[in-house]
Amino acid sequence: MKKSLVCKIMVIIIVLVVVGVIGFYFFDRSLYEILVESNNNCDGKEYSFNYDGKDVYIDCINDISIKKNGKVYKLDDAIKENVVDFEEILNNADKKTEYWDGGSVLYQYKDFTIIDYQRLYDKDCNFIVIGNKDITIDDYCD
């Protein structure tokens, strides 16, 4: 009976350790800060990187970076180096607005906005723009 109790306690300890390690991995992976230096000089979007087959452009922002574990990465480097997942950034928006134009989505955050265009009636309007908090869905596609 004593041996059975020791085995149960060991199994419980091992399970708790495994769950703790897995939880720490996911908890640590999600702790990051997005640093944005916005401006009102919106003189045209500039190519930044490709995400999921779509070109991602930056406009109305001087700089957008990710701060994680005391290091600062440019957004495109953070995504390429798997510091942060772009989908995770999209999922953490303060507000998400979906449009009936084929699937465009506007993601709003405290300091910036991401627009994921997907318009069925305009094949040239299939890209992503990251801009200051004031950009709108109508700014880049007619």
Burial of residue 47, with CB atoms counted within 10 A of its CB: 0-12 exposed, 13-18 middle, 19 or more buried: exposed
Give DSSP secondary structure letters for 25-87.
HHHHHT--EEEEEE-S-----EEEEEETTEEEEE-SEEEEEEEETTEEEEHHHHHHTTSS-HH
What is the chain's pLDDT, residue by residue, as a tens digit (142 residues)? 566 777 777 778 887 777 766 665 555 545 889 899 888 888 888 999 998 889 999 999 989 999 998 899 999 999 999 899 899 999 999 999 998 888 899 999 999 999 999 876 777 788 999 999 999 988 888 6
Record the pTM: 0.75
